[in-house]
């Protein structure tokens, strides 16, 4: 049984920053690559960023590369997404999951709204 709880979303002006957190329980956290995904209103869920089990290898979608940073703290069973220079196009519900994601693990996500 795996539980993933996202937090840290909110309302922010364009150009601002937010840090999202994903707390993981129910699995051996350190042995899994993790990812962040997002779904904007009326659009399909898309990949944002991923990080390997050790934290040394990361991947980013072109749309966020250079602005977002994914990190993890295995001792705290937590994955982070530091978002900088936010744009209105970043508005979405953000989810974490294993990478590749498992359907059964999708949670409620945390909403990010970026205003102009």
pLDDT digits (tens, 9 = 90+) for 31-85: 789 999 999 999 999 999 999 988 999 999 999 999 999 999 988 999 999 999 9
pLDDT at 23 exceeding the cut of 70: yes
C-alpha–C-alpha distance, residues 57 and 43, integer Å: 28
Q: Specify the 3-state DSSP secondary structure of 7.
A: strand
Residue 107 confidence class, pLDDT cut points 50, 70, 90: very high
Phi, psi of 82 (to 5 degrees): -85, 120
List CB contacts of 58: < 8 A, sequence separation 6 or more: 49, 50, 51, 52, 70
20: left (phi over 0), alpha (psi -120 to 50) or beta: beta
Is the bond preceding residue 24 a cis peptide, omega within 30 degrees? Answer: no
Q: What is the pLDDT at residue 25?
A: 84
Query: Averaging pLDDT over each range in 18-22, 75-79, 97-101, which range is the top one?
Result: 18-22
Percent with pLDDT over 70 in the chain: 97
Let me know the angle formed at the C-alpha of 52 by 96 and 49, rounded to the nearest 5 degrees.
45
Let me know the angle formed at the C-alpha of 15 by 11 and 21, rounded to the nearest 5 degrees.
50
């Amino acid at each position: 049984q795996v539980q993933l709880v996202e937090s840290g979303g909110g309302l922010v002006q364009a150009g601002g920053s937010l840090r999202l957190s994903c707390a993981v329980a129910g699995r051996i956290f350190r042995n899994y690559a993790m990812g962040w995904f997002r779904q904007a209103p009326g659009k399909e869920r898309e990949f944002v960023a991923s990080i390997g089990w050790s934290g040394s290898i990361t991947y980013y979608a072109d749309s966020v590369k250079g602005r977002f940073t994914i990190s993890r703290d295995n001792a705290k069973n937590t994955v982070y997404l530091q978002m900088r220079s936010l744009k209105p196009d970043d508005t979405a519900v953000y989810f974490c999951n294993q990478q590749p994601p498992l359907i059964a693990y999708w949670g409620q996500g945390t909403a990010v709204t970026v205003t102009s």
